[in-house]
Amino acid sequence: MRYQEYLKDQLPVIITHALSMLFCVIFLSAVNVQASITLILLIIWILVTASYINVRFFSRKRHFAELLLQLERLDKKYLISEVMEYPILTEDKIYYGLLKAANKSMIEQVSESKRERKEYKEYIEQWIHDVKTPISAMKLLCENNKSDTTRKLMAELTKVSHYTDQALYYARSENIEKDYLIREVSLSEMIHAAVAENKQHLLQNHISVEVNNCDDTVYTDEKWIGFILNQLIANAVKYSKKEPKITFEANSKQGQIVLGIGDNGVGISGTDLPRIFEKGFTGENGRTGKSSTGIGLFLCKRLCEKLGIGIAVTSESGQGTQVELYFPKGDFVKVQE
């Protein structure tokens, strides 16, 4: 609260007093009171009024400063009306009442939305579990009746099950820390499982796969890494070029195990590269008819953050993309909350 602004608010008071003084002076001079006495009266009047205005300014200023400080200290700012002291002034009381009523209705709204969101999320999760049964059945049907048609179907089914997984992880990604199991897992096993899962898809697109030096084990959650690898393989397939190839290679450097997943696909342009982990960002490749959703890499990044794994992407347009996952080494890994 600035003094000037406060004075502006007090203008009616000041004008009232000034007018009263004016009438007083006219009246006193009409009844022949000495000018010096009138002057003394005026000075006292002005002093008293001025000191009232000033004292009020400082007390209001202190009051609001305290409130603002209280707000600052609050974690959930919308709860200010719950913790602030009951005001003394009538006007303040009315504002206090307004604040409380508005807050109450807002909190009701928020909890209603939260409940709806939770219900929807649960429905999505349930739906995904339900849809997995027919997908499994179809996969088995394809497996038992191998032909060129079922091979193609199988590749499409891989996509469907990948999308459902994506939806599941997205639905869960907010409080995913409730659902992890850290243990020692072999990099090569995870890679081979991911390749096996995308086998039809990779074969149909004539993509060769190379796995080098992946004998290390890391401490992490197998399922999440499986999802991330699936996503990266799906991307490599989607953005492949002539004589496509995916390479998996692990290296140990600076107390970390670095798993590199490289392809020789279309690559990512320099302007797009810094934004690829943003939710909904599709970039140049997305616009050139590859139907990107901008969810895959966003989810990978989020899962990596929760797992305490670093992820970095280097790429050159037209030359391919290299994704690196940094697994902390050691016998014990703390998962970030």
Partner 1 sequence: MYQIMIIEDDAVIQEELSVLLKSNGYEVILPKDFFNIISEIQNNPPHLLLLDINLPVQNGFKICSGIRTFSNVPIIFVTSRNTDMDELNSIMLGGDDFITKPYNTPILLARIASLLKRTYASEHAEVLKYGGVTLHLENSKIEYQGELAELTKNELKIMVYLFRNAGKIVPRADLVEYLWDSQLYVDDNALSVNITRIREKLKSIGVTDFIRTKHRQGYLI
- Residues at the site binding partner 1, with contacts judged by CB under 8 A: 129-130, 132-137, 139-141, 143-144, 146, 148, 151, 157, 161, 179-181, 192-193, 195-197, 199, 202-203, 206, 208-211, 221, 223
Least distance between partner 1 and beta carbon 205 (Å):
11
Query: What residues contact 150, with CB distance under 8 A and at least 6 apart?
Result: 141, 142, 143
- Can you read off the two tokens belonging to residue 16? 């009232």
User: How far apart are the C-alpha atoms of 281 and 53, rounded to whole Å?
Assistant: 57
Q: Which position has the token pair 């205005």? A: 53
Cβ–Cβ under 8 Å, residues 272 and 290 = no
Nearer Cβ to partner 1, position 137 or 312? 137
Q: At what angle do helices 11-30 and 35-73 cross, to 10 degrees?
A: 170
Residue 248 or 326: the one with the smaller Cβ distance to partner 1 is: 248
- Ramachandran angles phi, psi of 314, nearest 5°: -120, 145
CB of 124 to partner 1, least distance (A): 14
Q: Which is nearer to partner 1, 139 or 306 (CB)?
A: 139
How far apart (Å, rounded) are the C-alpha atoms in residues 209 and 229? 13
Nearer to partner 1 by Cβ, of 151 and 290: the residue is 151
Least distance CB 158 / partner 1 (angstroms): 9
Q: 10 or 247: whose CB is closer to partner 1?
A: 247
What is the closest distance, in whole angstroms, from the C-beta atom of residue 201 to partner 1 in the complex? 11
CB neighbours of residue 197 within 10 Å = 18
Minimum distance between the CB of residue 189 and partner 1, rounded to whole angstroms? 10
